[in-house]
Chains A and B, each alone.
Chain A
Amino acid sequence: MSELKKIGGVIVSHGQVASELVAAAETVVGAQSHLTAVSIGWHDDVEMARNEIERAIRQVSQGNGVLLLTDMFGGTPTNISAMFIKDNEVEIVTGVNLPMVIKLALQNKQTTLSEMAKDVEEQGKQSIYRTGKLLEPQKPR
């Protein structure tokens, strides 16, 4: 059996959100060499941020595509990331949350970049609950 080629993942955010998301995911599921974070400072220049994302993509790529997870549609991290979009090589999903990072961390079968992007998007949406009554019966008795 040939070795599993994972989809690489770069989390891109304003401030330190990206690195903290990766750190949290790694606390839960262990260190992940196919994931990394790029934190874009509020005052960084675009060229610098672009270079950092480019380096991150190269770092995590296993030859099977890289998914960029950004914090907010329309924000600078997303807009700069968008410069790298390329069919079957780089895709973006916005609105990253911890379950999305965990989903991307845990890959146990060969998949394509577009399937992974779709799965991660779904996971992110499904992981949002308005808990209200859902957790009520479990309050400490």
Chain B
Amino acid sequence: MLSRRVKVINPLGLHARAAASLVRLAGTFQSDIKLVRTDNRVVADAKSILSVLTLAAAKGTELEVKASGDDKKEAIQRIEEIFRKGFGEI
């Protein structure tokens, strides 16, 4: 299992469309990918939009991305990148 901390930096947070693009990306990997809020430990499945939305991750929220599977390394990298770029919204 690989794990990395990311931060939500786009102004709207992990809203529906941002979550949808994250889920689309996560779905391209075979690995099991989870997102965990570092403050309250709420866990979401990165491949389910309705699950990701339950994180209610506003701007500034810190999350831990956890991936396990053959392509976990690439998955973590690409997911970190999409957070760093603020889902193309900044």
Contacts and interface: CB of A to CB of B under 8 A. Distances in A.
Interface string A101-126: 01100100000000000000001000
Interface of A: 27-29, 99, 102-103, 106, 123, 127, 131, 134-135, 137-138, 140-141
Contacts of A103: 50
B61 A28 contact: no
B49 A138 contact: no
Nearest to A100: B50
Residue picked from A99, A102, A134, A138, most chain B C-beta under 10 Å:
A138
Interface of B: 13, 16-17, 19-20, 39, 49-50, 53, 56-61
A12 B57 CA distance: 32
What DSSP secondary structure best describes chain A's contact surface?
A: helix
B20 A138 contact: no
A112 B11 CA distance: 40
B50 A127 contact: yes
Given A138-B56, A141-B60, A27 B17 contact: yes
B39 A137 contact: yes
